[in-house]
Amino acid sequence: MEGKDVSYLLEVNDLETSFFIKGVEYNAVDRVSLKVRKNQVIGIVGESGCGKSVLSLSIMNLLPKGISRIRHGEIIFQGKRIDTLREEQLNDIRGKDISMIFQEPMTSLNPVLTIGDQLTEVFLTHTKMSKKEAEEECVLLLKEVGIPRPESVIREYPHQLSGGMRQRVMIAMAIACKPKLLIADEPTTALDVTVQAQILELLKHIQKTNEMSIMLITHDLGIVAEMCDEVIVMYAGTIVERADVCSLFYHAKHPYTQLLIHSIPRIDEEVSSLSTIDGIVPSLTQMPKKGCRFVDRCPKAMRECREVTPTLSSYTTGHDVACLLYEQVAR
């Protein structure tokens, strides 16, 4: 497509995704822009309700029909705009070039179909394999993601597997066609610490082996530190800070990012109580019309923070922040 930068695998430009609530339209994602390079791991962090999952569903065009829509902006994948494609055209991309690991594998897997049936569907849809060839490939794929006795597992149902095993099946489905971009939405949320570490190691191995990009959506900054090259911090549907992982952890600028990092207990410090952020993320129906959306929870808020809406500006090269404290520096 002429004028599009194909050096980026994915570009999201000024995206607005809205939901209809009692006949009124509210933005859940508000003017979000981001770029993902080839072979890059980018983290999207923030509390629940900040728009992370809605952003990922917008990219995949899996938003609930009738109550939501992409209101503004564009999504470009490999230089081609995909948010305007028809459903059948999108189906050629989803699962093949862009795949997604959903939050809860028990609700994402079909409970009445065997693991084998669900895995072979990916190959039968996107390749010219026969059913027998697809089943053989499924066994190899389950071995790749560390599932023991894969010949038996393909004949079992999701409820017969543990949470960690179901998550490995979801990963297997997502990487079956060696996608160029993998969107992982809270891939370790419901797992214990040991299994979580195994899943993260598996994702790192797959990313390096297949040379794919990963968009990792999480609220766990520990996972971000271990996995990501670049981090985007979202709050109330907007991006408040963007930087490479080292700059973010050592030189965080936005008060929200600073509080998120401060809430992580350190092993080299004695902790009597955990730090928290007062208040909650505002709901879609209570989003302020102007000013900073974090103002009511921000310990550094100024009077003008309620009147002037901050813009995401470059603080230093490769480090953007949306905060009035730094806008003079950015200019």
| 97 touches 77 (CB < 8 A) | yes
Low-confidence ranges of the chain (pLDDT < 50): 1-3, 329-331
Check residue 328 and give its pLDDT: 54
CA distance 5 to 62: 25
The full DSSP string for 123-192 is HHHHS---HHHHHHHHHHHHHHTT-SSHHHHTTS-GGGS-HHHHHHHHHHHHHTT--SEEEEESTTTTS-
Which CATH number applies to 8-97+177-330? 3.40.50.300
Encode pLDDT of 19-62 as tens digits: 999 999 999 999 999 999 999 999 999 999 999 999 999 999 99
Check residue 187 and give its pLDDT: 86
Considering the entire predicted model, what is its pTM?
0.91
Check residue 222 and give its pLDDT: 87
Check residue 249 and give its pLDDT: 95
Check residue 131 and give its pLDDT: 92
Residue 310: which of 293, 298, 297 has the closest Cα?
Answer: 293
Beta-bridge partners for 217: 44, 185
Check residue 198 and give its pLDDT: 86
CA distance 285 to 248: 31
| 41 touches 214 (CB < 8 A) | yes
- Residue boundaries of the structural domains of the chain: 8-97+177-330, 105-176
